[in-house]
Amino acid sequence: MFPAEFRIRDVAIRPATLLAPMAGVTDTVFRRVIRGLGGCGLIMTEFTSSEGLAREAARTLHYLDFQPDEHPIAAQLFGAKPAVMAAAAALVQELGFDTVDINLGCPAKKVVKCGGSGLLRDLPLVAEIIRAVRAAVTIPLTIKIRSGWDECNIVATEVARLAEDLGVEAIAVHPRTRIQALTGLADWSIIRDVKQAVKIPVIGNGDIHSPMDAERMVAETGCDAVMIGRAAATNPWIFRQMEQYFLLDRGAGNAVPGNNCRDASRQAIGAAAVYDEPSESGRYELLSQYFRSLIESGMPDALGKMKHFACWFTHGVHNGAQLRHLVHSARTPAEVLDRVDSFFAAALTAG
Ligand SMILES: Cc1cc2nc3c(=O)[nH]c(=O)nc-3n(C[C@H](O)[C@H](O)[C@H](O)COP(=O)(O)O)c2cc1C
């Protein structure tokens, strides 16, 4: 059964679901959309450069902006200098984050030279960074890893054991190598291997697109929680859908112990009927509200963010390619809003 809750030391995360950190996507405005829709246990910032915080705090600090209604919230940091990472983590704690996370997974060329998955080739340095950060903060410390640099160097369980020994309190595993980036399939057997290697909570990540995928990941790997990235950008309702799906699960299990009512209900009403799909007007509301909030928040490069988000979100919209084109060819945020309004006005009237 899907876990209703898990804990990172004293931080209770209910339900056991996390929004994955996604650079360019999971800023404070998007995270609040996810919070507002419900069903997500822990949200995380996009990765934030520890060097950037040390060198040009004013330009980098906005990555760590958050609002009180985002709790519980984790901040993710990247970097390869132990002292600089420690100072950044101390700042994260001072800002009021519930937990701090070290990025050991980013595959981008610019990042692997100074952190991210590049560190998976230098475990002594990983240990030094963890030690320094651990000594700098009292809030819970987590790491997010890939399986290794390439298929000949799978180090996930080794890193997990090392991290646990050094006081890391949960580990998120995205089981692709750095070389794979986001290609191929995530190898969930590596999540299972990590879960069997350590006692701290293990968060499974990679290729969850539906509540049923999440259920399968927990069953196959024994992970304590699941983390969702791309599917949250194409379908921000996914956490709420999981909550609906798993509530039915628990209700059925409680009603008739030992009897898989859930499967019977699914057969009776069809799998899709166990959670709500967003309506076209729901999609319109979400998109226009999100875009309006981006403008109101004064977020740097609101237009760029609107275009980026449109690439994800419009895949779920009827005639999404047309909407994508309309957003991409707009020259100002106000023009994007006008176009979104007219697109949905026409679609909703026709529908
Ligand atoms: C646009 C984008 C940005 C990402 N940025 C980050 C990041 O800042 N930190 C991080 O640890 N992972 C980052 N990732 C990786 C995701 O957190 C996640 O591990 C990956 O997308 C696999 O999960 P999914 O299949 O649910 O998308 C990013 C992924 C995408 C698609």
- Regarding the beta carbon of 30 and ligand 1, being less than 6 Å apart is answered no
- Regarding the beta carbon of 20 and ligand 1, being less than 6 Å apart is answered yes
CATH of the domain at 22: 3.20.20.70
Whether 265 is covered by a domain: the verdict is no
Cα 284 to middle of ligand 1, angstroms: 25
Enumerate residues 6+ apart whose C-beta is below 8 A from 19: 26, 31, 34, 40, 42, 43, 44, 227, 228, 229, 232, 239
Whether 257 is covered by a domain: the verdict is no
The protein residue whose alpha carbon is closest to atom 22 in ligand 1 is 206
d(CA 281, CA 302): 23
Question: Are 57 and 159 found together in one domain?
Answer: yes
Cα 145 to middle of ligand 1, angstroms: 11
Question: Are 36 and 113 found together in one domain?
Answer: yes
Return the bridge partners of 102, or none.
Answer: 77, 143
Question: Are 189 and 306 found together in one domain?
Answer: no
Cα 268 to middle of ligand 1, angstroms: 36
Question: Are 218 and 298 found together in one domain?
Answer: no
Task: Report the share of the chain in percent with pLDDT over 70.
Answer: 92
d(CA 208, CA 228): 6
The protein residue whose alpha carbon is closest to atom 15 in ligand 1 is 22
Contacts by 290-293 with C-beta closer than 8 Å and gap 24+? Answer: 290/29, 290/30, 290/33, 291/333, 291/336, 291/337, 291/340, 292/337, 293/29, 293/32, 293/33
Per-residue model confidence (pLDDT) at position 45: 98
Whether 255 is covered by a domain: the verdict is no
Question: Are 74 and 143 found together in one domain?
Answer: yes
Whether 254 is covered by a domain: the verdict is no
In the chain, the number of structural domains is 2
What average pLDDT score do residues 138-158 get? Answer: 97
- Regarding the beta carbon of 228 and ligand 1, being less than 6 Å apart is answered yes
Whether 309 is covered by a domain: the verdict is yes
347 against 158, higher pLDDT: 158
Question: Are 129 and 228 found together in one domain?
Answer: yes
Residues with catalytic function: 106
Question: Are 237 and 285 found together in one domain?
Answer: no
The protein residue whose alpha carbon is closest to atom 3 in ligand 1 is 22
For 76, 289, 298, the CA distances from 33, given in Å and listed in that order, are 19, 9, 16
Whether 275 is covered by a domain: the verdict is no
Whether 79 is covered by a domain: the verdict is yes
DSSP 176-228: EETTTTT-S---HHHHHHHHHH-SS-EEEES---SHHHHHHHHHHH--SEEEE
Q: Which residue type occupies 40? A: C
Expressed as residue numbers, the domain containing 343 is 280-350
Query: 260 pLDDT exceeds 60?
Result: no
Task: Report the share of the chain in percent with pLDDT over 90.
Answer: 87
Question: Are 68 and 130 found together in one domain?
Answer: yes
- Regarding the beta carbon of 52 and ligand 1, being less than 6 Å apart is answered no
The protein residue whose alpha carbon is closest to atom 29 in ligand 1 is 22
Q: What is the pLDDT of residues 192-206, one digit of tens each?
A: 999 999 999 999 999
Question: Are 224 and 295 found together in one domain?
Answer: no
Q: What is the pLDDT of residues 233-254, one digit of tens each?
A: 999 999 999 999 998 544 444 3
pTM of the prediction? 0.93
Question: Are 202 and 334 found together in one domain?
Answer: no
Cα 24 to middle of ligand 1, angstroms: 10
